[in-house]
Amino acid sequence: MTPVEFEQFLKFSKDGLSDKSNSEKIRFFIEWCKKNNMEQIILRLSSEDKGGWGKNCFLDFTTNRMIVSKKNFFRKFGDLGYIAGIAHYPYKLTTKKWNVLSASDTKKQALIIPEDVLTRDSSNFYIWYSSIDEFVVRKGVETIVRNMLGTMIKANFLTVKTSNKTYNFAIPVRKNGTFEEIHFWLSVVLPLNLSAVG
């Protein structure tokens, strides 16, 4: 989505958004993108195995599909910039100045294009939401660490099942937020039933 297209969205929706909650604004944005045939990344999670030494990838949730993309070598060890959370334009809708474009809204970093994400590495792939049979977010109770400061869960888990394959991802808390935050925003973005095991 370009800044001009986002500005069109703001003009179209300025009267209808002001009294909506943040999650309602983002759902409204998703529906507008779908009606106008614009695929937009809404949410990104960071997944890693073995403390970053194993499989490392980004999970991008767009208006239509989930994209799994491999992190490059340097991002495995030093995640700089956009790691996880709501993408730039949907995030903008949750701020106080949601209806005013600023200079940061037109920067290249704000424009994440799904097709560009897919073509960065040949191992990147996507799963259409329509082909997902089961989507489960599970609290990582087996990753609890106890010390003198208390207890903490280090990672949560996400399982995606299609008719022919099951995908499992570890979602570290320090990069993605708590189980409750992840579950909430996934339930806002995904057009399917989300199971939570916690």
Calculate the CA 91 to chain-centre distance: 11
Based on the structure, what is the number of domains in the chain? 1
Phi and psi, residue 98, nearest 5°? -65, -25
What is the CATH number for 176? 2.30.29.30
Instruction: Please tell me the pTM assigned to this model.
Output: 0.86
Secondary structure letter of residue 20 according to DSSP: S
Which residues form the domain of 181? 3-197
What mean pLDDT comes out for the span 66-84? Answer: 67
Confidence of residue 60 (pLDDT cuts 50, 70, 90): very high
Q: What is the pLDDT of residues 39-54, one digit of tens each?
A: 999 999 999 876 555 6
Which structure tokens are listed for 44? Answer: 């990104």
Q: What is the pLDDT of residues 113-160, one digit of tens each?
A: 888 888 888 999 999 999 999 999 999 888 888 888 777 788 899 999
Q: What share of the chain is helix, strand, coil (3-state, %, to 5)?
A: 40, 30, 30
Give the residue carrying structure tokens 């994440």. Answer: 112
Confidence of residue 64 (pLDDT cuts 50, 70, 90): very high
Rounded distance, CA 57 to CA 47, Å? 5
Rounded distance, CA 118 to CA 125, Å? 6
Q: How high does pLDDT run on average in the chain?
A: 84
